[in-house]
Structure 1
Amino acid sequence: MPVSVHLLLRLARTIDESIAMSVPMEDGVFGNDHNTFINSNDIIQFCLMQPISTICISIYMRHLWSLLKMKEEDHLYAFVDPSRISNEAGKVEARSCALSLRLESAQLDQLILAPYNTGNHWLLAAINPFTALVYYFDPLGNTNINPGMKNIVEL
């Protein structure tokens, strides 16, 4: 384990799990200005390489967005809030509607990155809404597209 991760793990273990830390999500990250909250359990899971929560993915995406913004490349990509489209987000129609709203706000030639949690595994859809092309990425190398993800994209 890298020293920085080990130090983060030690720190997270000293924080009461009922305490949540606020992370600001600017409008440019997911299309709406809000705060998200992470607690020590989320950080510990991340440090121990255990399955990570939607919160961890969201905060990482916020970091990616800030790097893109520093390089003035944030206009090339838009991110979909995984808590709005993944399995735990509710009915397929509501999840598809959340994705649709984000696609409608896309700029010309902007690639929309939509992480999706099947319940125990993270996938990524890269969507170009203007050409109607969708690229599915599965780090496990599955060649079949996850039906849950496919349903919300097709709807």
Structure 2
Amino acid sequence: MVEIGATVIEVYMRYLFDYLKMANMVKLVGLVDPGQVNSQSGTLSHRSKHLSESLKKADGDQFDLVPYNLGGHWVLIIVRPAKETVYYMNSLPNHSVDEDMRNIVNT
């Protein structure tokens, strides 16, 4: 039960990008670098700014996938900037939304 690192997530995201490209769906999904928004990646301000810059590049009704490490556990945040909607995907039952991630998204 060793935690997977951001590099493993990034490799999977690269595979996902290639698959989306092959299916001509690249413009539907944006991918945010998990190394720039994780709790170990600097100040809340830095992480919020990086997410904001990524979301500004959103194309129309695109979904942005934001992998986030809570510290020993990965969750997926799905942001739809055009609809101002955020989905929080956590495989562990009965866990509330991480306050740090909530602050990053709200900021």
TM-score higher than 0.5? yes
Long gaps (5+) in structure 2: none
Structure 1 residue 142 displacement after superposition: 3.3
Give matches, 1:91-102, under 5 Å.
Answer: 91-102=43-54
Q: 2:55 aligns with which of 103, 112, 117?
A: 103
Cα distance change of structure 1 residues 142 and 58 upon mapping to structure 2, 3 Å threshold? farther
Gaps of at least 5 residues in structure 1 are 1-48
Cα displacement string for residues 85-114 of structure 1 (whole angstroms, at most 9, x for unaligned residues):
001111000000000000000000100000
Distance in 2 between the 1:113 and 1:141 partners?
21
Q: Which residue in the other structure is 1:141 paired with?
A: 93
Number of the residue aligned with 1:24: none
Runs of 4+ in structure 1 over 3 Å off? none
State TM-score, norm by structure 2: 0.96
1:128 — aligned with what? 80
Separation in 1, partners of 2:93, 2:13? 22
C-alpha offsets along residues 112-141 of structure 1, whole Å, 9 cap, x if unaligned?
Answer: 000100111101110000111000000102
> Do residues 85 (structure 1) and 61 (structure 2) align?
no
Distance 1:142 1:112 in 2: 24
Q: Which has the higher contact order (CA 8 A, sep 6+)?
A: 2
Partner of 1:27: none
Instruction: Count residues with an aligned counterpart.
Output: 107
Coordinate RMSD, CA, aligned = 1.0
Asked if 1:71 corresponds to 2:23, the answer is yes
Counterpart Cα distance in 2 of 1:77 and 1:57: 16
| Identity level (%) | 38
Is 1:113 equivalent to 2:65 in the alignment?
yes
Q: Distance in 2 between matches of 1:61 and 1:85?
A: 15
Classify the secondary structure of the residue corresponding to 1:142: coil
Partners of 1:127 and 1:63 in 2: CA distance: 20
- Note the C-alpha offset of 1:143: 4.3
Separation in structure 2 between the aligned mates of residue 126 and residue 98 of structure 1, nearest angstrom: 15
Deviations 1:43-79 (Å, cap 9, x if unpaired)? xxxxxx5210011101110110110001101111000
Larger radius of gyration: 1
TM-score by length of 1: 0.67
> In the alignment, which residue of structure 1 is the partner of 2:102?
150
